[in-house]
Amino acid sequence: MAQTNDNDAFSPPVSQERVVITNKLGERLVGLLHHTVSNKIVVLCHGFIASKNDSLILDLAAALTKKGISVFRFDFSGNGFLTVHGSADKTIPVEDAYEFAKHVPNHKLHVIEGANHNYTAHRKEVADAVVDFITSNGAGEPTSPRGKWDPSILGQ
C-alpha cells in the first residue's frame, strides 16, 4: 500500500479504473487510471525491472492525486521527459543519467543527492520533484483534440 508522509486533511475525490489499450498488433497495454476532478493527468512510467504496482509508483500516484492531479500508471519500461535519479545509485550509475540527458531533447534530469536506486530514504524528495515538475511550466498541458483531459484519448 502506498504511504505518504503528509498529513494534509484535503484529499480530492479519486476514482480508480482499469484501462486496457490494444494496439493494431493485438498487444494489450493494461493500466490503472486514478481520475480526479482535474483536467490534468500524469502518466507514470517505471524502469526496466519495476511494475505499475511498485511502491515508488504508488507513492507518486498518491502524492499527485492528493494534489488533485489525475494519474495513469501502467507496465512499461522507459523514461519520460523528467528523469529523477539518485546520486548514490549503484544499479545504474548517475553518470549514465547525465549521459542519457545529453541525448534526449526537452528533457529535465533531477538528481537527488545521496539517494540509492530505490530512493529508500528519499521518497518525499522524489514525490516533491515530480509534483513540482508537473505543476510548474516544466510539463505541458494534456494533449487532446478537445484541449482538456478526456478519457477517450486513452482508447476508451
Domain boundaries, the chain: 14-77, 79-139
pLDDT above 90 covers a percentage of the chain that reads 37
Alpha-carbon 60 to chain mean position: 6
- Give pLDDT tens digits for 100-139: 888 766 678 999 999 999 999 999 999 999 888 877 754 4
pLDDT by 10s per residue, the chain, length 156 = 444 444 445 566 788 998 887 766 676 778 889 999 888 999 887 765 677 888 898 999 999 999 999 999 887 543 347 889 999 999 999 999 999 888 766 678 999 999 999 999 999 999 999 888 877 754 444 333 333 444 444 443
